[in-house]
Structure 1
Amino acid sequence: MESENTGGGTLGSANSLIPANQDAAQTIPNTSDSRRNSRKSIGLKNTKSHDSPDDDATSILDDFESSMEDLDNEPTNPVTKFLELLHSLVGNSAAQNPWLKVVVIVGLFLLYNAYIITAVAYHIRNDTNIEWCEGLGFLIVCTGLVYFGLFYYNFAKPYVKRVVISLNTIIQPLIALWFVQLGLSLLVLVALIIFVVLDTRDNRKRLISSLGLVVLVLLGVIISKHPGRIRWRHVIWGMTLQFLFGLLILRWSTGRDILQCISDKVTTFLNFANSGSSFVYGYLATGFNTTLMSGDEFVVLPGVFVFQSLSAIYFLSFFIGILYHFGTMSWIVAKMGWVLEVTVGTTAAESMNAAANIFLGQSEAPLTVKPYIGKMTNSELNAIMTGGFATIAGTVLGAYISFGVDPFHLLSASVMSAPAALAYAKILYPETKKSMTNSAEIYSLRPKKMGNALDAGTHGASQGVFLVLNIVASLIAITSFVTMLDVIINWFGVLVGIEELTFQWLVAKIFTPLAWVIGIDNEEIEDVALLLGVKTVVNEFVAYGQLTQLCLSPRSVTISTYSLCCFANFSSIGITLGGISAMCPERRNDLTKVVFTSFIGGNAAALLTACVAGSLSTDIGYAEWYPTRNCSGLIESGVASTRAFSASIFQTTFN
């Protein structure tokens, strides 16, 4: 064929007018030049340059369509002419009269408030209670918050900003002095120490948990990547926030109710994904009832993890994509991140992720800062993954509660572990690079807008497919590897008569001294240490199931509940690594470098939360179920199950 001629002919039919001996650069025209020439050839005006080829192409198509000849379908009858005239008048009025927009907004405002008043009158007339976290009460609270925000940003903010700037010019030079920073940090530490000493005068055993805070911080400094670069402001203020959250939740009933309300609303929002997953997957997502083969007994089979739990990722990706399209998510990241940036000192992106981790899981929370992951430093990546390991998701609270675990302590743990994760992440991997994701830079990194909101949402949902696939692949591989390791170690132990030797048992021995420093009673240290080992090697589901079968003191149960309330297990390494690397594949190598550091940090943050709970908790509400538990101990049951599984595996493999 002529197109395959390697001599002095042509390069092919598509380029038959181009000599074959021309340079490649001459053969392939410049894209921008060709676009410019195409515009000239059809008589278009030259448009300004765009930020991306997609924007440029869209502009070209729009200009091309406007240059095309109109169809001969001008309105001919009176009705169509009247409709065209009315459309042009309304459009021109809206464009030329800004007051029309104000009238529409004021009208909608009055209609909305009339609706609120009508609803209140209806509830009063029917003598219906107004619950602040449900129905009308919740709507009134949300409306009040929105009105307060509008008032602040449109009226009060300029005045507040002037005051803040004036104070900042005085305070900032002082804070920049190292001895002032040291003095403030010491002042906070002394205040906390005095409070703990006075607060524990009725039970000095709670001081052991306070000692655990010091021990865990010292261990973090020892294994830190850059111990000389630790910024103690991050650590002290992060742990102070953790302590303050503990006081607000553990000692203040209103704070506890607010937290419960927010958690319920987040869980309700994520549960909307169940309607889509049940429609697509059916019983694989919802579970189903069946009968045993040998009889008429009914059993309930739960939904499959990948079809049930991970389906929330699609819905959340869809929703967050829309929020980023309108700029709402960028605004939330900047504002919420600014609060933690001026207090704890961490950047806006990692701070926003930490806040999201209170209610979202380790693979959902990073979606809130997904556009900024590619610009993060390794220290920030470590902070993001540490936050995921240190907390749990609101969607799994129901499973833990079904085991008999107190929901109040689960909610408290997730809130308190968020600032602790930031603090400990900055101990293990201090920041040594200049961040590009602080509140001042966050708007410059705002992702490109899509064609419309629906396009942005569906684009986010389609990206969730790759996220789920990465999570599933990593989870299967790492869980299988840990199981193999556990069985092999147990097999070697059985050969020399050490039947309790398993990977879980070895990890439990590491946690034994830590179980003491977080405040566990001496006679229960071994059981709780093994619980921590089960949580780390298997997962927190199994650990909570075994916790509710133990005969522990109420104090030990409470501290154990906090220490187990995290996703820091080996299978979660696969979920975290697979999920975040799918969001930003070019950072996969950096993520793998810090993932084990984050894993250690997540475990340590949960233990820090357990220490704070052990220091502040005075009355434990486990008396209802605690006395009825079977005091059989955990070690025997754990060893028996591992031994049976080991025997079944090696009977077919090594014999």
Structure 2
Amino acid sequence: MEQIIRGGLGIAALVALAVLFSGNRRAIRWKPVGYGLLLNVLFAFLVLRTAPGRAFFEQIGGGLAKIIIYASEGTRFVFGPLYTGFTQVENFSGWPYAFVLDALIPIVFFAALIKVLYYYRIMQRIVGGMAGLFTRLFGISSVEAVVTASNVFLGQTQAPLTVAPYIRSMSESQLFLTMTGGMATVGSGLLIAYAGMGARIEYVLAASIMAAPAAIVFAKLLEPETDLRGDQETAPIDEEHGVNVLDAVARGAMEGWKAVVGVTVMLLAFISLIHLLDGVIAAGSGERANLEGILQVVFAPAAWIVGVPAADVGAFARLVGAKTAFNEVIGFSALPAETLSPKGLMLACFAMTGFANFSSIAIQIGTLGEFAPERRSEVARLGLRALFAATLANLLNAAIAGMFFSG
């Protein structure tokens, strides 16, 4: 009962914070907000506290874990001893985990698999079903519903392609939800990478699905709809996915490879800059402060809000701080080095599963600005608020999950 009460207080605190910074409190429609909260509470309860729900997600998680094994076969063939050679070196005492090989390369295989599912129109049915549910429950336009549902599977760089012709005519509230949904969710291909870094696959999978309704809740709290223009009609992802299944595999593999290269290059820059910034802070403070300590202080209140056990507050704050200040890959990559309780691990997985970080603002300015150049400045203006809304959405899911943790 205590964790339910604490989780309820955390939900109330997050909603109150969003209302405090709302652009128009009088225009808030509370019915969709209530539906969004109820939907995620019911989903978390089914996944975490009912035997059928847990069994279902554990089965899906087991299936994804097998996919990682299948992906490793391609990695082993292409990279040979570079992939398995560390453990063969006599008296080797270093860390045998090669991040790019173990965590990132499997994205290529997963992206190809997803593209095959699109080719056979399986993913279209899933996205269309989610979009229909969102439209009925939340009263949002079909355009918003489609792009928000697509974010769960495609990520913030590809999901806007599903509604590209409509971005120019979106209201500001619709544009804001498009941005918030992109930052709150993650592309399904990266779930494999997070699992490779030590995350529980069933947690990040549940968090990824819950992020879409949570994004709608906070987007409509911070930027309520006041421009009641007519709904635009669209169909989910009707673009061509290949002339045949082999072409679909090839396209997916190349898209996955681009993601691998992008994340790798980003980490090469950001990891080095993190250490540089840490060194500057340490030198400027006479070794009395460092970046880790600052992030821990800044994000400690978030740990209390979502119900993190006292012993895990420091580690949770460091992980979520790194995720928000830099990106979630850096946060998850630090997960193995932290000693977390089972509940702390679950809450960290839920809170870090999302693209809510500062670099996502630049990504969205580039992506949405490419589709609608005349709205690039508007995207830039809304960037920090979208980041704030997406961060609240990720923390909300952690607070809800904490209510139903059973060990």
Question: TM-score per shorter chain, which class?
Answer: 0.7 to 0.9
**SS in structure 2 opposite 1:415?**
helix
2:45 alignment partner in structure 1: 247
CA distance in structure 2 between the aligned counterparts of 1:594 and 1:547, rounded to whole angstroms:
31
Structure-1 residue corresponding to 2:181: 387
Does 2:238 match 1:454?
no
Change (3 A) 1:289 1:211: same
Unaligned runs of 5+ in 1: 1-199, 621-655
How many Å apart are 1:476 and its aligned residue? Answer: 5.3
Q: How does 1:408-557 map to 2 (within 5 A)?
A: 408-435=202-229, 437-438=231-232, 441-442=233-234, 454=243, 480=269, 484=273, 487-488=276-277, 490-502=279-291, 504-557=292-345
Deviation at 1:306, TM superposition (A): 8.4
Higher helix share: 2
Q: C-alpha displacement at 1:398, in angstroms?
A: 3.7
Aligned-partner Cα distance in 2 for 1:590–1:471 = 30
- Which amino acid in 1 is paired with 2:286? G
Partner amino acid for 2:345?
V
Taking a change above 3 Å as real, the CA distance of residues 224 and 432 of structure 1, as seen in their structure-2 partners, is same
- Given residue 377 of structure 1, which amino acid in structure 2 is its aligned partner? S
Contact 1:341 1:348 (C-alpha < 8 Å) held by counterparts: yes
1:348 match:
142
CA distance in 2, matches of 1:581, 1:268: 39
Equivalent position of 1:607 in the other structure? 395
Match of 2:31 in 1: 233
Check whether the contact 1:467–1:583 (CA below 8 A) recurs between aligned residues. Answer: no
Q: Is the 8 A contact 1:225 1:428 kept in 2?
A: yes
What amino acid is the match of 1:591?
V
Which of 381, 387, 404 is 1:593 aligned to?
381
Q: Does the C-alpha gap of structure 1 residues 274 and 403 become closer, same or farther in structure 2, counting only changes over 3 Å?
A: closer
1:195-216: CA deviation from partner (whole Å, max 9, x where unpaired): xxxxx1xxx2442221111111
- TM-superposed deviation, 1:251: 1.9
Matched position secondary structure for 2:40: helix
What are the superposed Cα offsets for residues 145-190 of structure 1, whole Å, 9 maximum, x if unpaired? xxxxxxxxxxxxxxxxxxxxxxxxxxxxxxxxxxxxxxxxxxxxxx
C-alpha contact 2:351 2:395 (8 A) present in aligned 1: yes
Report the Cα distance in structure 2 between the residues aligned to 1:582 and 1:306, rounded to whole angstroms: 27
RMSD of aligned residue pairs (Cα, Å)? 4.7
Are the aligned partners of 2:103 and 2:194 in contact in 1 as well (CA < 8 Å)?
no
Unaligned runs of 5+ in 2: none
Residue by residue, what CA displacement relative to the aligned partner does 1:354-387 show, whole Å, maximum 9, x if unpaired? 3344444333444444454444333223223322
Give the direction of change, closer, same or farther, for the CA distance of 1:386–1:253 in structure 2 (3 Å limit). farther
Answer yes or no: is the 8 Å Cα contact 1:333–1:348 preserved in 2. Answer: no
Going from structure 1 to structure 2, the CA distance change for 1:388 and 1:453 (only over 3 Å counts) comes to closer
Summarize the Cα distance change of 1:563–1:467 in structure 2 as closer, same or farther, 3 Å threshold: closer
Residue deviations 1:446-484 (CA, integer Å, cap 9, x gap) = 97x98x9729x979x989989987997799579847964
Post-superposition offset of 1:217? 1.0
Partner residue, 1:126: none
Structure 1 window deviating more from structure 2 (331-340 vs 408-417): it is 331-340
- Paired with 2:215 and 2:345, the residues of 1 have a C-alpha distance of 22
- Amino acid corresponding to residue 414 of structure 1 in structure 2: S
- Given the superposition, is the C-alpha separation of residues 466 and 523 from structure 1 closer, same or farther in structure 2, using an over 3 Å criterion? closer
Deviations 1:539-591, CA, capped at 9 Å, x for gaps: 33443454444444433333233222223233444445445555555644433
C-alpha distance in 2, partners of 1:332/1:553?
A: 35
The Cα offsets for residues 29-77 of structure 1, whole Å up to 9 and x where unpaired, read as xxxxxxxxxxxxxxxxxxxxxxxxxxxxxxxxxxxxxxxxxxxxxxxxx
Evaluate the alpha carbon distance shift between residue 223 and residue 478 of structure 1 in structure 2; reply closer, same or farther with a 3 A threshold. farther
**Contact preservation (8 Å) 1:467, 1:582:** no
Deviation at 1:612, TM superposition (A): 0.8
2:13 alignment partner in structure 1: 215
Aligned partners of 2:220, 2:105: CA distance in 1, in Å?
Answer: 36
- Does the Cα contact within 8 Å between 1:216 and 1:608 map onto a contact in 2? yes
Q: Please state how far the C-alpha of 1:250 moved relative to its aligned partner.
A: 1.5
C-alpha deviation, 1:238, in angstroms = 1.0
Partner SS state of residue 309, structure 1: helix
The one-letter code of the counterpart of 2:290 is L
**SS of equivalent residue, structure 1 residue 454:** coil
Structure whose CA Rg is larger: 1
- Which one-letter code corresponds to 1:362 in the other structure? Q
The whole-number CA distance in structure 2 between the counterparts of 1:473 and 1:406 is 24
- Counterpart of 2:228 in 1: which secondary structure? coil
Taking a change above 3 Å as real, the CA distance of residues 375 and 304 of structure 1, as seen in their structure-2 partners, is: farther
> Which runs of structure 2 are paired with 1:48-127 in the superposition (5 Å)?
none
Residue 35 of structure 2 aligns with an amino acid whose one-letter code is W
Do the aligned partners of residues 287 and 222 (structure 1) sit closer, same or farther apart at CA in structure 2, a change above 3 Å counting? farther
CA displacement, residues 386-438 of structure 1 (integer Å, 9 cap, x when unaligned): 22322334333344334443333222222222211111111122223235555
Change (3 A) 1:581 1:469: farther
Q: From the superposition, tell whether residues 290 and 606 of structure 1 become closer, same or farther in structure 2 (CA, over 3 Å).
A: same
Is the partner of 2:243 in helix, strand or coil? helix
**1:114-136 deviations in whole A, cap 9, x for unaligned?**
xxxxxxxxxxxxxxxxxxxxxxx
1:472 touches 1:575 (CA, 8 Å); kept in 2? no
Structure 1 residues 267 and 360: alpha-carbon distance in aligned structure 2, compared to 1, 3 A threshold: farther
For 1:311 and 1:528, how far apart are their aligned partners in 2?
31
